[in-house]
Structures are given as C-alpha cells and as structure tokens.
C-alpha cells in the first residue's frame, strides 16, 4: 500500500508544537504532508503551507475550507492533526470525525467532560480513530517501563510519583504579559491552568505505565502569584483502580526546573525512575539488588522499547522521535483498518479519545477538590463510573 496522506490544522510558523509534529509524522515515510490550515491568519497560513511544500490548492485559509476541500477528493487526507489552541480542539475534532477522517488531537482534547464524552461517542459510532497527543508516551524507555510493569518485574505497584513542574511562569513582573495571562484566566483557560496544561501529561503517563486509571483524588491548588485566578501549582493525591497510590506535583513557578516531567514507579519487587530531560536513561532498582542504568537502544529490552528506539545506543534521542512513535502506531492502525486486518499489537500504544476524556474528568476533579480544601472526589468521567 502507498503512503498515507496527512494534514495539519494549527502548527503555523513560529508555533511551539508544529515542527515536532511535522518531524514526527515525516520520520518513517508513512505519511506525506499534503494539506494544511496552519494559522489563524489565513494568508500567513497559506503562505507558510506553500513554503513547506503544500500544493497551492491544499494550503487552506482555515479548517472549514480544508474540510470542504478534502472531503470530496479521491486522495483525501487519511489523518488530520489538530494543533490549534485548546478551546478550538472540540469543534474541529468533532467536525473531522463526523466527516469520516481519522484525527490526532493535541491535548487537552476538550474543555469540558461533556465534550469529551461526546468525542468518545462520535469516535466509537463512526469507527474513526481519535488519538490524543500524549506524545511523551512515545519515548522508548517510557514504553519499556510499561512493559516491565506489565510483565511483572516490579510486582504489584504500590506507589507512582509523577511530576511536571517547570519555572517558566515564575516571574511576577511578567504575569500581565498577554502571552502568559490568558493561561490563568478562567474565561480563556477553563477551570484549571497548570494541571490542565501539564498535570494531565504526568497523570496520563502514570496511567499508561502502570496500566491503572485514576479513581479518586484530592488536590491542593494554589496561585503562588496572587493576581492569578487559576492555579500555578498543584499537589494531587490519587488512588488508582488497581490499588496503586499516586502522588502528582505540577507547577509553573518552580524556578530552575526546565521541562520537569518525571515519573517514578515503586512496586513490591523494584523501583523505576525516568526523566524527560534525560530520556535515554532509565534507573532500575530491583529489590535486594543494586541500582542499574538501562540505556535506550540496548538490545533486547522489550519488544515495545526495541521497536520504538530509532537511533543507535549512546546517541541522544528526543521528543520529535517520541512523537514519531505515535505517528507510526497511527499509520499501522489506519493501514490495518483499510486492509481489514488486526493491527500489530506492538503498535497498539497510541493514546485514545478515552484517555483525553479521563484527563478532562481529572481536570474538573482537581478544580473541585482544590476549591473544597482537598476533599476527595471521584476522578472518573461519568461514562466510566
Ligand atoms: N503534546 C505536547 O507535548 C504539547 C506541547 C506543547 C503544546 N501542546 C498543545 O498544542 C496546542 C498548540 O500549542 P502551541 O504551543 O503550539 O501554540 P502556539 O500558540 O505556539 O501555536 C498555535 C498555532 O495555531 C494556529 N492557530 C490558532 N488558531 C487557529 C485556527 N483556528 N485554525 C488554524 N490555526 C490556528 C496559530 O496561528 C499558531 O500557528 C495546544 O493545545 C497545546 O496544549 C502540546
């Protein structure tokens, strides 16, 4: 079968996440970038699209024009990535799913739990793929952690500790900068700022690795910069449905922390520690053993890690290649659907609309608990209770 056609909405020139998607989608030669509505400014989006190599008639001015243009083409896109600001995800994702396209949506998938449930229902009813870009789960050693937990290396999981704490909004003098301010304004950001932006990555990764979903949580949310209505720091305690205890810290005022995504998993027979800023090393401490460093790219780790590692051991491998693993999983899922066969189980690791919905339920649970002095609340979406 030939290459798959790929389109992108958002990710225009100068955007933060656009280049990582284009690198990730292009890495394996599975997808060809053929269509885009890349910018909220029509002409800037068209112009940039053409400079990136799109044909003039597929460098669209906006996502609706792209939907109409692509809908009727024989060579229409097989997958569209939605990488626009958060408040637009629901409307765009819904429209493309309903028109029969597969979608990879940036996080957060929606702004409310109800919208999340609607997306899950549409994806199920249409049989289209709706993936959510928790792209950090594409790192080989994150997938290896999951494989180690699943094959029982750690025994029962007692504790998972997840952090996504950076210091990029720590400057009180910068709090009124429009590029920062909207993130803490409920009218634009919704019910949560830092947890909805970063905390959900950490929570999703914890669930992905331990194979358990958050059931209940208690949150302490604070605005360290007093002019902010929404939280810039949160500490969340969790209970997972398989019995694990969760501790999650997320912050945007942690000066000196850069990206700050880390995961530690402690089981009855061993502990693991991984950090996104040193993604090529995983620390493994077996009970009664010695601390070991597992290097990405070592042969024979697990099928999941071996498959997703792209560069020889000892060479740094980073975030766009983690995204590439999500894209390669999606290519396999799309091809399997077209060919009417089961997909390769080793590729069946991409995050789903159900994960996007669970995140949204957790966001609302954190906001509710935070307002009520940390009262324990249900973290599950109503549809999964
Ligand atoms: N998965 C991750 O690791 C990760 C990392 C960063 C950002 N994100 C998510 O990606 C999304 C984009 O974030 P960003 O930091 O790249 O934002 P950004 O502000 O840097 O870029 C947004 C881009 O979308 C374009 N855009 C805005 N509205 C549009 C519309 N209606 N139609 C077409 N294009 C439109 C803008 O012109 C711009 O090019 C957000 O939802 C964010 O949460 C995810």
What's the pTM value of the predicted model, to 2 decimals? 0.97
The answer, yes or no, to whether any atom of ligand 1 lies below 6 A from the CB of 19, is: no
User: Comparing C-alpha atoms, which of 324, 289, 354 is closest to residue 122?
Assistant: 354
pLDDT-above-90 percentage for the chain: 97
DSSP character at residue 200: H
Partners of 10 in the β-ladder: 83
The helix/strand count (H/E) of the chain reads as 13, 14
The answer, yes or no, to whether any atom of ligand 1 lies below 6 A from the CB of 155, is: no
Q: How far is CA 232 from the centre of its chain?
A: 20
340 burial level (CB within 10 Å; 0-12, 13-18, 19+): exposed
The answer, yes or no, to whether any atom of ligand 1 lies below 6 A from the CB of 107, is: yes
Q: What is the pLDDT of residues 9-28, one digit of tens each?
A: 999 999 999 999 999 999 99
Ligand 1 binding pocket mutation candidate from 83, 202, 320 (most atoms within 8 A of CB):
83
Cα dihedral value 144, 148, 150, 152, nearest 10: 180
The answer, yes or no, to whether any atom of ligand 1 lies below 6 A from the CB of 91, is: no
Distance 40 CA to ligand 1 centre (A): 10
Q: What is the pLDDT of residues 97-147, one digit of tens each?
A: 999 999 999 999 999 999 999 999 999 999 999 999 999 999 999 999 999
162 and 265 in contact (C-beta within 8 Å)? Answer: no
pLDDT for residue 321 is more than 80: yes
Q: Set out the domains of the chain in order of their start, with CATH numbers.
A: 4-136 (3.40.50.720), 137-311+356-378 (3.30.360.10)
């Amino acid at each position: 079968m030939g290459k798959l056609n790929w389109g992108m909405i958002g990710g225009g020139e100068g955007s933060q996440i656009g280049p990582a998607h284009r690198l990730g989608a292009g890495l394996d030669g599975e997808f060809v970038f053929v269509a885009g509505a890349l910018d909220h400014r029509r002409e800037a989006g068209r112009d940039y699209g053409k400079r990136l190599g799109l044909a003039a008639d597929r460098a669209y001015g906006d996502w609706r024009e792209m939907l109409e243009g692509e809908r009727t083409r024989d060579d229409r896109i097989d997958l569209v990535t939605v990488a626009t600001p958060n408040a637009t995800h629901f409307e765009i994702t819904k429209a493309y799913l309903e028109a029969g396209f597969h979608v990879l949506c940036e996080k957060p998938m929606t702004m409310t739990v109800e919208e999340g449930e609607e997306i899950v229902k549409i994806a199920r009813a249409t049989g289209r793929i709706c993936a959510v870009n928790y792209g950090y789960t594409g790192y080989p050693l994150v997938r290896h952690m999951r494989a180690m937990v699943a094959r029982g290396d750690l025994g029962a999981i007692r504790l998972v500790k997840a952090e996504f704490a950076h210091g990029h909004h720590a400057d009180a003098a910068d709090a009124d900068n429009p590029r920062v301010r909207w993130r803490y304004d409920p009218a634009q950001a919704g019910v949560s700022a830092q947890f909805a932006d970063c905390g959900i990555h950490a929570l999703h990764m914890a669930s992905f690795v331990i194979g358990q979903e958050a059931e209940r949580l208690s949150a302490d949310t604070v605005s360290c910069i007093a002019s902010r209505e929404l939280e810039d720091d949160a500490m969340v305690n969790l209970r997972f449905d398989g019995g694990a205890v969760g501790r999650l810290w997320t912050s945007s005022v942690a000066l000196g922390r850069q990206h700050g995504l880390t995961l530690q998993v402690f089981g009855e027979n061993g502990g693991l520690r991984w950090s996104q800023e040193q993604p090529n090393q995983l620390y493994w401490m077996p009970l009664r053993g010695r601390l070991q460093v597992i290097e990405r790219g070592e042969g024979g780790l697990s099928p999941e890690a071996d498959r997703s590692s792209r560069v020889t051991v000892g060479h740094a491998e980073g975030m766009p290649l983690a995204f590439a693993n999500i894209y390669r999983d999606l290519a396999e899922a799309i091809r399997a659907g077209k060919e009417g066969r089961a997909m390769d189980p080793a590729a069946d690791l991409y995050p789903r609309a159900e994960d996007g919905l669970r995140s949204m339920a957790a966001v609302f649970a954190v906001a509710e608990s935070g307002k009520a002095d940390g009262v324990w609340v249900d973290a599950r979406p109503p549809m999964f209770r």
